[in-house]
Chain A
Amino acid sequence: MGELVFVRPGEQVPVDGILTQGYSAVDQSMLTGESMPVEKRVGDQVIGGTLNKIGAFRFEATRVGRDTALAQIITLVEDAQASKAPIQKLADLVAGKFIFWVHVLSLAVFLFWFFLGYARFFDPATRLTLTPYGLGEIGVFGFAMLISVAVLVISCPCAVGMATPSAMMAGTGKAAEHGILFKGADAIESSSKLTTIVFDKTGTLTRGEPSVTDIRPAPAWTESDLLALAATVETNSEHPLGEAIVRGARDRGLSAPAANAAGFTALPGLGVEAQLDGRGILLGNRRLMQERGVSLGPMEREAEVLEHDGKTVMFIASDGLPAGLIAVADTLKKYSADAIRILHQLGLETVMITGDNRRTAEAIGRQVGLDRVLAEVLPEDKAREVRALQERGRRVAMIGDGINDAPALAQADVGMAIGTGTDVAKETGHVILIKDDLRDVVSAIEVARATMGKVRQNLFWAFIYNTITIPFAAGLLYPWSRQVVSPELAAFLMAISSLTVTMNTTLLKRFVPSLRRSDHVVAPPQTLAPVAGGAP
């Protein structure tokens, strides 16, 4: 740890670390399933096991050996594959009972053919099914024993025993390919039965970082002039809204005017005041403008509309005259609306739970199309809200990233932690979504449903063979057919059921989540209106 590692183009990143020099694009598909290489700059995290594509870079090792992300993922997948789902426990129980009754049947069959069947029905012309061989003068013991053993062999429930674990193993592996880590087989089973998906807001649906969304200059001002002026005033501000304005100006390629703000005064709860080239500049809320006698005029109405959408509006005045307004808000993550839309298509209810104020929360709810919004919920009450949904019969998944989401993640039937979130959330969640892409919630549910579908198919195939073939092996048709199933044929039929289950499971490898299919119709890119608020 702490050592500097140099990686050339085409080389694999050996351990986890932080990039300290250089620039490159790294193929992280083996870990996250992302189809495009991810750009890496100084300060970015690089993950051991990923492939450097274009540039050379130097990074400082931060995690090695079993602490690397790749090693932890491998451990998680192995643990998940070794764990038992509730349906597997049921299958094991059924298999146990099944074995008991098969032995009882085998004994009963033996006694029947020994004391009754042989004397009444045995024919020296009896043949072994599907063979040219006859039984000839086989004695009563040999005949009864042959049928009894055939019953035991043909009904071996090994296919029942492997039906669930094989599908679970394939399902967790398939999910891992797409950057979704199920921590246990029970998480897969629970994910397949979900009815309600609850999202945290900040950091999950939104970026959790305010940014400039609207600039409305007064006549005689341009957007660029207004934003550059505001950025100059806020250059040294440490207020999140001020930082958002400075960042907004920088992102738009605007350089602050040469003049520096002088006489900068922060007015708590109101805004800031500064002198710029001899002009008195005010930047702040409506109350600041009212106190300083600035008439906002038609700008007032524009501000109300923006505030209705949950944005925070700041007015700018120069020498007592309004210069315009700037709206700042938290912005939705790229695929939030897409994910919600597809979850609705899957028939799932979507809910957002947040400590933010109702107006902001409802604005977000409208923009992404959520079914319900639970606003002004204290962090400690999030788990209570999840429990309330469960008590109403819902099977709830909680999607979150923060420490304050951990109790709700634990309470939910399935807690899905965003991989870029806090360690506490990842530790608590039942599923980890490695990428910061909410569409993986959809993929996780689809993989879980496909896996459980495969489990049910496997159990059907495992039991149907036994159910159909046991009566034949027991000699039910012997009085008419004069044929008995040989132990070799019984073993072959038993193996066929295992083979069918295995083949059926391997079909899961061909499963592709709907969002990854080439025929998936992606919604046209939409301009996501940003929303205000900063509370988690």
Chain B
Amino acid sequence: MHGSQRTVRLAGLVGLAVAAAAAALFIAAAGADGQAGVARYGGAAWVFLLAWIITMPVLAPWLKGRARG
């Protein structure tokens, strides 16, 4: 696999983890706020989606820079 493709895939995986963490954090915060299940899990899905989209373009150049040393 080409180096840059590998970096993009890695950025996708790391972004996935970051987004999942953000969604988990959201569920915890919404639970603490006393929100119902639909709001809690629906909101978490939306947060997960946006967080993944946001982290991808940030992580990809950062990982490329690290790969170049």
Report if A and B associate in a common complex.
Answer: yes
CA distance A103 to B22 in the complex (A): 15
A114 in complex: contacting residue of B43, B50, B53, CB < 8 Å: B43
Do A110 and B47 touch across chains, with their CB atoms under 8 A apart?
Answer: yes
Do A141 and B43 touch across chains, with their CB atoms under 8 A apart?
Answer: yes
**Which residues of the other chain, B, contact A139 by a CB distance below 8 angstroms?**
36, 38-39
Q: Which of B11-69 contact A (CB under 8 A)?
A: 26, 29-30, 33, 35-36, 38-39, 42-43, 46-47, 50-51, 53-54, 57
**Which residues of the other chain, A, contact B29 by a CB distance below 8 angstroms?**
115
Do B38 and A141 touch across chains, with their CB atoms under 8 A apart?
Answer: yes
CA distance A106 to B57 in the complex (A): 16
Report if A100-B57 is in contact (Cβ < 8 Å); known contacts: A107-B47, A145-B46: yes
Do B50 and A106 touch across chains, with their CB atoms under 8 A apart?
Answer: yes
A38 within 8 A of partner (CB) = no
Closest to A97 in B: B57
A148 in complex: contacting residue of B36, B46, B51, CB < 8 Å: B46
Do A144 and B54 touch across chains, with their CB atoms under 8 A apart?
Answer: no
**Which residues of the other chain, B, contact A107 by a CB distance below 8 angstroms?**
47, 50-51, 54
Interface residues on A, range: 10 to 19
Report if A141-B42 is in contact (Cβ < 8 Å); known contacts: A110-B47, A115-B29, A115-B33: yes
A140 in complex: contacting residue of B26, B39, B47, CB < 8 Å: B39
A104 within 8 A of partner (CB) = yes
**B47: shortest Cβ distance to chain A, in Å?**
7
**Which residues of the other chain, B, contact A144 by a CB distance below 8 angstroms?**
43
Do A110 and B50 touch across chains, with their CB atoms under 8 A apart?
Answer: yes
**B62: shortest Cβ distance to chain A, in Å?**
14
CA distance A145 to B47 in the complex (A): 10
**Which residues of the other chain, B, contact A103 by a CB distance below 8 angstroms?**
50, 53-54
Closest to A149 in B: B46
CA distance A139 to B54 in the complex (A): 26
Do B54 and A104 touch across chains, with their CB atoms under 8 A apart?
Answer: yes
Q: Which of A85-123 contact B (CB under 8 A)?
A: 96, 100, 103-104, 106-107, 110-111, 114-115
Do B54 and A100 touch across chains, with their CB atoms under 8 A apart?
Answer: yes
B side interface size, CB within 8 A: 17
**Which residues of the other chain, A, contact B51 by a CB distance below 8 angstroms?**
107
**B59: shortest Cβ distance to chain A, in Å?**
12
CA distance A100 to B38 in the complex (A): 28
CA distance A104 to B56 in the complex (A): 12
0/1 per residue, A138-155, Cβ < 8 Å to B? 011100110010000000
Do B42 and A145 touch across chains, with their CB atoms under 8 A apart?
Answer: yes
CA distance A148 to B53 in the complex (A): 14
**Which residues of the other chain, B, contact A148 by a CB distance below 8 angstroms?**
46, 50
Report if A140-B50 is in contact (Cβ < 8 Å); known contacts: A110-B43, A145-B42: no
0/1 per residue, A242-260, Cβ < 8 Å to B? 0000000000000000000
**Which residues of the other chain, A, contact B35 by a CB distance below 8 angstroms?**
140-141
Do B39 and A141 touch across chains, with their CB atoms under 8 A apart?
Answer: yes
CA distance A144 to B33 in the complex (A): 15
**A457: shortest Cβ distance to chain B, in Å?**
29
0/1 per residue, A455-495, Cβ < 8 Å to B? 00000000000000000000000000000000000000000
**Which residues of the other chain, A, contact B50 by a CB distance below 8 angstroms?**
103, 106-107, 110, 148
**B21: shortest Cβ distance to chain A, in Å?**
14
**B37: shortest Cβ distance to chain A, in Å?**
10
CA distance A104 to B51 in the complex (A): 8
**Which residues of the other chain, B, contact A114 by a CB distance below 8 angstroms?**
30, 39, 43
CA distance A114 to B41 in the complex (A): 13
CA distance A411 to B63 in the complex (A): 39
**Which residues of the other chain, B, contact A104 by a CB distance below 8 angstroms?**
54
Closest to B58 in A: A100
CA distance A500 to B3 in the complex (A): 42
**A157: shortest Cβ distance to chain B, in Å?**
15
Residue of A104, A111, A140 most packed against chain B (CB within 10 A): A140
CA distance A96 to B38 in the complex (A): 33
**Which residues of the other chain, A, contact B42 by a CB distance below 8 angstroms?**
141, 145
CA distance A117 to B53 in the complex (A): 24
Closest to B38 in A: A141
CA distance A96 to B61 in the complex (A): 14
CA distance A96 to B53 in the complex (A): 12
**A150: shortest Cβ distance to chain B, in Å?**
13
**Which residues of the other chain, A, contact B39 by a CB distance below 8 angstroms?**
114, 139-141
**Which residues of the other chain, A, contact B30 by a CB distance below 8 angstroms?**
114-115
**A154: shortest Cβ distance to chain B, in Å?**
16
**B46: shortest Cβ distance to chain A, in Å?**
6
Closest to A107 in B: B50
**Which residues of the other chain, A, contact B43 by a CB distance below 8 angstroms?**
110, 114, 141, 144-145
Can you offer 15 A-B residue contacts whose CB atoms are under 8 A? A107-B47, A107-B50, A107-B51, A110-B46, A110-B47, A111-B47, A115-B30, A115-B33, A139-B39, A141-B38, A141-B42, A141-B43, A144-B43, A145-B42, A145-B43
List the 7 shortest-distance A-B pairs measured between CB atoms, nearest first.
Answer: A141-B39, A107-B50, A141-B42, A103-B54, A103-B53, A140-B39, A141-B43
Given A106-B50, A110-B46, A141-B39, 17 additional A-B pairs, CB 8 A: A100-B54, A103-B53, A103-B54, A107-B47, A107-B51, A110-B47, A111-B26, A111-B47, A114-B39, A115-B29, A115-B30, A139-B36, A140-B39, A141-B38, A141-B43, A148-B46, A148-B50
